[in-house]
């Protein structure tokens, strides 16, 4: 591994330099060969599973790595905590790929840091494997996301409600800079560090912005907002519910990060919540765009003093960008839904028509993923057409008329729908069954076979149908937990 570290060159206020805590008997469970190849990790290393286990448990530090725990703050369910930080994670360093992209390599579950707040700094095997499965599924679905390079079993127990096997998961992300990173310095009134962080983030993620431009802050905020809109629209296209959209889990890069209480929606309902700690539905499926806008407003607050010393003038420049989120999101959201319906263009008059479908789905408790699959297949299957005419009434006939009026051929519409409607998603009951079977058998083959299907979500493979069934209870009793 060839590291090219830049975050470590920032002031020590940004992190704590600390090595991972060694574990007793590391053993490699999951290894992402394709990702390892993209990261140019030496084949001599990847062919030695024992060596991989040592490196990606934290027992051995690769040459060039500079382990550290990152500092950040965060709004957690709307309540601000000024001192969070990596309480059980160590950033090893950064790697540049052959296409000149920079990625963080981070161990999670690798031991306590100054940010642990009396936690043990460890991770249980279940949440580690869940993050691996979910992040790979999201990547294949075309959703911006962090990914997992490996999961290593530590050979040590982790104590939560009961003793469980411990694990270290290696996360790969464009960076681990969050809205909460900006809040950390803004809360301290440390404008020098805040300015340094802003310039660093612009150079790393939005290099097209001139660092000397008078309006660089406004450009930076607008680019970050656009990334968040792209992310949330992708979540809603696939039925993903993050579950804990705190500002410390909002990556500036616009990637999905932290797969703790996440889940996939089965029966469509905008108020769907699975997280056991989200009692008020703050992070419900349909509330995700509003929370993203709220999080961007928190970022904007941090940037005000960098825009203009006169806060009224600064607000005049920044506030319109936050307000514009609403219209930008609506345009992107309805364009996405139109594509799921085979329409390559949409106007505001079409919005109500699209909403009528969602109302039908919610009223009839229809499965989100499978309904769009049926709509796609109905274009060339008269039996399904007749079924949907009964189910959706005039709406279905009007949809076919709309396709024709927009000069969409049946084949063109079906091709567009096939690209935007996955055949298979990591359904909650299957993820839980896979985790339970692994914990019983200790064999990783069941995880590998599940991942093989999830990595081709738009293709009908031999095993795809095994993971397309809907949960018997519509996931009404399903609950997720943060995994810490």
Taking the CA atoms of 76, 81, 86 and 88 in sequence, report the sign of the dihedral they define. negative
Contacts of 379 (CB under 8 A, 6+ apart): 342, 410, 413, 414, 417
Query: What six digits make up the tokens of 437?
Result: 């079977």
Distance CA 250, CA 244 (A): 10
Q: Are 190 and 52 in contact (CB under 8 A)?
A: no
Among 329, 357, 339, 372, smallest CA distance to 270 is for 357
Give yes or no: 248 in active site. yes
Q: Measure Cα distances from 472 to 205, 213, 391, 435, 457 in Å.
A: 43, 57, 20, 19, 22
Nearest one of 121, 103, 117 to 20, comparing CA atoms: 121
415: which residues sit within 8 A by CB, 6+ positions away? Answer: none
Rounded to whole angstroms, the Cα distance separating 431 from 133 reads 8
Q: Which of 38, 248, 278, 475 is catalytic?
A: 248
Angle at 246 between CA 187 and CA 368, to 5 degrees: 160
- Alpha carbons within 13 angstroms on the beta-carbon side of residue 163 total 3
Contacts of 62 (CB under 8 A, 6+ apart): 1, 3, 55, 92, 93
Structure tokens that stand for 259 in this block = 């797969």
Catalytic residues: 248
């Amino acid at each position: 591994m060839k590291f090219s570290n830049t975050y470590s060159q920032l002031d020590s206020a940004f992190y704590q330099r600390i090595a991972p805590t060694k574990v007793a008997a590391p053993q490699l469970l999951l290894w992402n060969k394709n990702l390892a190849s993209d990261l140019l990790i030496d084949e001599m290393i990847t062919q030695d599973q024992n060596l991989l286990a040592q490196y990606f448990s934290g027992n051995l530090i690769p040459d060039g790595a500079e382990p550290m725990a990152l500092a950040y703050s965060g709004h957690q369910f709307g309540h601000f905590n000024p001192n969070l930080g990596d309480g059980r994670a160590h950033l090893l360093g950064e790697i540049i790929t052959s296409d000149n992209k920079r990625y963080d390599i981070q161990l999670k579950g690798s031991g306590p840091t100054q940010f642990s707040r009396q936690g043990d700094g460890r991770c249980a095997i279940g949440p580690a494997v869940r993050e691996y499965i979910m992040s790979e599924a999201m990547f294949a679905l075309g959703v911006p996301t962090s990914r997992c390079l490996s999961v290593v079993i530590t050979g040590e127990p982790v104590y939560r409600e009961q003793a469980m096997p411990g694990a270290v998961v290696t996360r790969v992300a464009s960076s681990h800079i969050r809205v909460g990173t900006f809040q950390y310095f803004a809360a301290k009134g440390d404008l020098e560090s805040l300015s340094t962080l802003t310039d660093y983030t612009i150079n790393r993620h939005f290099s097209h912005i001139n660092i000397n431009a008078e309006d660089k802050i406004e450009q930076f905020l607008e680019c970050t907002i656009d990334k968040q809109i792209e992310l949330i629209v992708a979540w809603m296209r696939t039925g993903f519910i993050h579950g804990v959209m705190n500002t410390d889990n909002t990556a500036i890069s616009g990637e999905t990060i932290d797969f703790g209480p996440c889940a996939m929606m089965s029966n469509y309902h905008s108020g769907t919540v699975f997280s056991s700690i989200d009692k008020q539905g703050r992070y419900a499926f349909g509330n995700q765009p509003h929370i993203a806008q709220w999080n961007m407003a928190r970022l904007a607050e941090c940037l005000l003093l960098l825009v203009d010393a006169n806060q009224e003038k600064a607000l005049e420049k920044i506030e319109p960008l936050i307000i514009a989120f609403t219209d930008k999101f609506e345009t992107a959201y309805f364009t996405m839904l139109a594509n799921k319906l085979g329409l390559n263009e949409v106007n505001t008059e079409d919005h109500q028509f699209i909403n009528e479908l969602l109302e039908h789905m919610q009223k009839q408790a229809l499965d989100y993923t499978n309904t769009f699959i049926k709509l796609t297949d109905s274009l060339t299957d008269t039996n399904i057409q007749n079924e949907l005419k009964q189910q959706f009434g005039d709406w279905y006939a009007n949809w076919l008329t709309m396709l024709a009026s927009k000069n969409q051929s049946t084949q063109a519409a079906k091709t567009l729908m096939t690209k935007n409607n996955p055949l298979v998603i990591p359904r909650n009951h299957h993820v839980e069954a896979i985790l339970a079977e692994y914990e019983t058998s200790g064999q990783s083959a069941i995880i590998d076979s599940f991942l093989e299907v999830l990595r081709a979500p738009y293709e009908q493979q031999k095993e795809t149908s095994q993971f397309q069934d809907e949960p018997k209870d519509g996931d009404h009793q399903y609950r997720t937990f943060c995994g810490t």
